[in-house]
Structure 1
Amino acid sequence: MKKSSLLLVSAAAALALSLPAKAGESSLLVFDWAGFEVEGLYQAYKDKYGDAPTYSFYGDDDEAYQKIASGFKADVAHPCSQMVSKYRDAGLIEPWDPAKIPALADIDPKYLDSPIFKDDKGVWFIPTDWGAAAIAYNPEEVPAEDVASLQVFVNPKYQGRISLPNSSDDVWSLAYLATGVTDWTKVTDEQFAAAAAWLREAHKNVLSYWADPAEQAQTMASGEVLISWSWNDGVTALRNENYPVAFQREAKEGSATFFCGYVNLKDGPGDEARAYDFMNSWLRPEAARALLDNIGYGHSSLKAMETIPLEEQVTAGIGPVKAPILPQVPNDPQQREKQLAEFEKIKAGF
């Protein structure tokens, strides 16, 4: 029954990549990650308008950007921080008016500490959620000492039992950490080459590159995959189905963090007022519980995070850790494109 449930989730997520989740009467189209159509996040919006937003889904930041750049029309999109400069530089977004989003003042300042996100024209990016990229593993099959280091991903013992995200940013955060880099904004050519060589070794052990957390959870639930470089949501899905899974954020080389949020797309087809009401719903303190329980992520709002006890944060993998952290903050766009191209070569076996 449990495996069937995860298989159904995976199939539904795959279908959602190409179809809107709700056909509808709503005049707000949200372009979002699969799985974020959580009612508790848009509850105040629904209370006001009597309907849910219409959702269209994607599974990867670069996929989403390419679709928007190719002419797909939506009102808001949900990129992670390192993508915002691409949307700005391409003229695809416009700033939010802070006066219409009172809870903006409650966002942890570290998430807005960049001229890419906020300048004299307004706020270009509203951070809403954050999570970790770390080792998910089956503790019934994998000893804790094996995942004490990120070198588990190149350990021949686990050949064919490993999965990695089909996301350039996440695999490079892993490779940089594994080769001693915790700041990807200052990567030298030598460090890039070392990380690429490490990724090629890890590729030899990879059974699959997962496109979304539902797919990742299904491969771990089936027993095919024992170890994965994972976001919190895949771990949350497995725990909710009572599968044995642990989340190791304190490997000796460390783990990564990322944060994501919403941009206001230019020439959106819907009602601009609804876009602001959607954001105000997301930034309610009550949204933190829905975000944690359904997806396993932390909220950008300090007031919202105050509603989640510290022990729950630690269990979910969003508490403090005693290990190096690589923050996936905006980095050099040219370096990011270089990483993306090299990742495609590695996946192709070159």
Structure 2
Amino acid sequence: MDVIDHLAAVRRGRLSRRAFTRTLLAAGVATVAMPLRPARAQSDGATFFTWGGYDIPELFVPYAEKHGAPPNFTTFGGSEEALTKMRAGFVVDVSHPCNQGLPRWVASGLFQPIDTAKLSNWGDVMPELIDLPGNEAEGGLPWMAPFDWGQTSVTYRTDIFEVEGEESWDMLWDDRYSGRLGSLASAGDAWWCAAIKAGVDFADIATEDGFQATAAALREQRPHIRVYTDDTTTLEQALASGELAAAMTWNSSAVLLQADGVPVKFAKPREGALTWVCGLMIHKDAPHPELAHDIIDSLLSVESGHFMIEDYGYGHSNMRSFDKFSEETLTGLGLSKNPLEILQAGHFQTPQTQEFETRINEEFEMIKAGF
């Protein structure tokens, strides 16, 4: 089977993203960038609006068993991009924000509470992840069903990048590797990570001093960055080929690369990693509200949780998803059966105003453009 056949197999749901990546690496074509998007199996079905990498059949086994195929998928590179698009009139059934955006998403008036009585897996969801600021709607129902949680840190090639002292965010500012460093392109990750590097407490991130210190750190970093992208596959392939020595990534990139034999490590920065919880919200005008609940229920299932933990290295909100994994395995993935152990060990993103989000996005676009 050649690469084109393998890509077709991924789109039909017969080959996992991990297996496909392994074939690329074996074939010596790790630097190519191909969009791994399943075909739209139900042109008139429900739509899941999500980050790239979550638009895969493996997360929708219960949904496909019930409805014959996965839902439709459309992806975004950052949650602000997603919210802006929906404010402009783009209507979907379910979308996938993270905790720091929850109050602003609710305030937009574009979403409806989730009827948890329609979710067979709701009783197994970790209550610590439900009880986020601003997540309670009228009647005690949640606006967002927590789904995945994890960290943003530095994935680096252990055979290329020589760590001096402790692992640190300084690694992505190291001029020894100028032109061989990569970063996520969304301010939703990069701005917050730069704040950690600059020593800005998240309680002060929206102050003028906090803003200027973070912007200065990002401008200092800019000459060293070879690529900004929200396509995690691009970062993974560049790390696999050795084009990049280190990059800002989520847990999944290190897990996927390690599984394919690439010598990488997901750093534990001495300053602390960026930690987050993401979840699922239903559009107020969702064309398929019943299917929307089925999308959420599938993503909350144990089957999806096993995939998220084993293949992506992310935490999952269903407490039963962890039962098949030993503590040793979870520790190796940087996870724990107690999410608070991980979330409180790093820097947990906190909700900010729309004005702050707009300002950092505008500033970061200027910085990436070299200004």
Q: Mark yes or no: TM-score above 0.5.
A: yes
- 2:193 counterpart of 1:174: yes
Query: Counterpart of 1:344?
Result: 365
1:11 is paired with a residue whose SS is coil
Query: Counterpart of 1:33?
Result: 51
User: Once the two structures are superposed, what CA deviation does each residue of 1:284-339 show, in whole Å capped at 9, x if it has no partner?
Assistant: 22322111233221102223233332222222233456995111232333222222
Query: Counterpart of 1:112?
Result: 130
1:166 is paired with a residue whose SS is coil
Counterpart of 2:217 (choices 178, 188, 198) is: 198
- 2:286 counterpart of 1:286: no
Query: Counterpart of 2:156?
Result: 137
User: Once the two structures are superposed, what CA deviation does each residue of 1:45-84 show, in whole Å capped at 9, x if it has no partner?
Assistant: 2222222212122222222222222222221111122223
Percentage of pairs with the same residue: 30
Query: Counterpart of 2:9?
Result: none
Counterpart of 2:118 (choices 95, 100, 107) is: 100
Which piece of structure 1 moves more, 253-262 or 77-86? 77-86
- Displaced runs of 4 or more, over 4 A: 3-8, 184-187, 319-324
Work out the CA distance in 2 between the residues paired with 1:221 and 1:295: 16
Work out the CA distance in 1 between the residues paired with 2:204 and 2:121: 30
Work out the CA distance in 2 between the residues paired with 1:226 and 1:337: 31
Query: Counterpart of 2:323?
Result: 306
- 2:28 counterpart of 1:11: no
Counterpart of 1:75 (choices 93, 106, 115) is: 93
Unaligned runs of 5+ in 2: 1-23
Q: Tell me: CA distance 1:5–1:269, structure 2 relative to 1, closer, same or farther (3 Å).
A: farther
Counterpart of 1:156 (choices 160, 169, 175) is: 175
User: Once the two structures are superposed, what CA deviation does each residue of 1:6-55 show, in whole Å capped at 9, x if it has no partner?
Assistant: 456x3124xx4xxx732425622111222213434221222222222121
Which one-letter code corresponds to 2:148 in the other structure?
A: D
- Contact preservation (8 Å) 1:288, 1:308: no
Work out the CA distance in 1 between the residues paired with 2:92 and 2:342: 38
Unaligned runs of 5+ in 1: none
Work out the CA distance in 1 between the residues paired with 2:325 and 2:291: 28
Q: Tell me: CA distance 1:321–1:128, structure 2 relative to 1, closer, same or farther (3 Å).
A: closer
Work out the CA distance in 1 between the residues paired with 2:49 and 2:253: 20
Which one-letter code corresponds to 1:340 in the other structure?
A: N
Q: Offset of 1:213 from its aligned partner?
A: 0.9
Work out the CA distance in 2 between the residues paired with 1:150 and 1:25: 44
Counterpart of 1:263 (choices 258, 271, 281) is: 281
- Contact preservation (8 Å) 2:276, 2:349: yes
Work out the CA distance in 1 between the residues paired with 2:53 and 2:217: 32
Query: Counterpart of 1:210?
Result: 229
Which one-letter code corresponds to 1:142 in the other structure?
A: F
Q: Tell me: CA distance 1:102–1:330, structure 2 relative to 1, closer, same or farther (3 Å).
A: farther
Quote the RMSD (CA, aligned, Å): 2.4
Work out the CA distance in 2 between the residues paired with 1:65 and 1:185: 24
- Contact preservation (8 Å) 1:253, 1:323: no
Q: Tell me: CA distance 1:236–1:111, structure 2 relative to 1, closer, same or farther (3 Å).
A: same
**TM-score with structure 2 setting the length:** 0.84
User: Once the two structures are superposed, what CA deviation does each residue of 1:178-201 show, in whole Å capped at 9, x if it has no partner?
Assistant: 122343566432222212111111
Query: Counterpart of 1:183?
Result: 202
- 2:80 counterpart of 1:59: no
